[in-house]
């Protein structure tokens, strides 16, 4: 469950930073692209968390 939390935390920071325009994706200097990558990482972390929780119920 630890990696899922880190992925969600990092994804949220990247998403907020990209949407606010204060952070940019390295090598591209694109804030919207950073927000998209952050949203993907956040979604992946949520998927990891759900997968772990479903595995414990069985």
pLDDT on residue 19: 97
Q: Rounded to whole angstroms, how far apart are CA atoms 10 and 45?
A: 9
Question: In the numeric block, which tokens belong to residue 16?
Answer: 């907020």
Q: Rounded to whole angstroms, how far apart are CA atoms 46 and 11?
A: 10
Question: 3-class secondary structure for the chain?
Answer: CHHHHHHHHHHHHHHHHHHHCCCCECCCCEHHHHHHHHHHHHHHHHHHHHHHHHHHHC
Task: Please write the tens of the pLDDT for every residue from 20-51.
Answer: 999 999 999 999 999 999 999 999 999 999 99
Q: What is the pTM assigned to this prediction?
A: 0.88
pLDDT on residue 58: 61
- With CA atoms as reference, report the closest residue to 7 among 56, 57, 58, 52: 52
Of 58 and 8, the structure prediction assigns the larger pLDDT to 8
């Amino acid at each position: 469950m630890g990696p899922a939390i880190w992925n969600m935390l990092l994804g949220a920071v990247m998403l907020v930073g990209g949407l606010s325009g204060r952070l940019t994706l390295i090598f591209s200097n694109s804030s919207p692209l950073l927000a998209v990558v952050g949203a993907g990482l956040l979604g992946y972390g949520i998927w990891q968390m759900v997968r772990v929780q479903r595995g414990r119920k069985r």
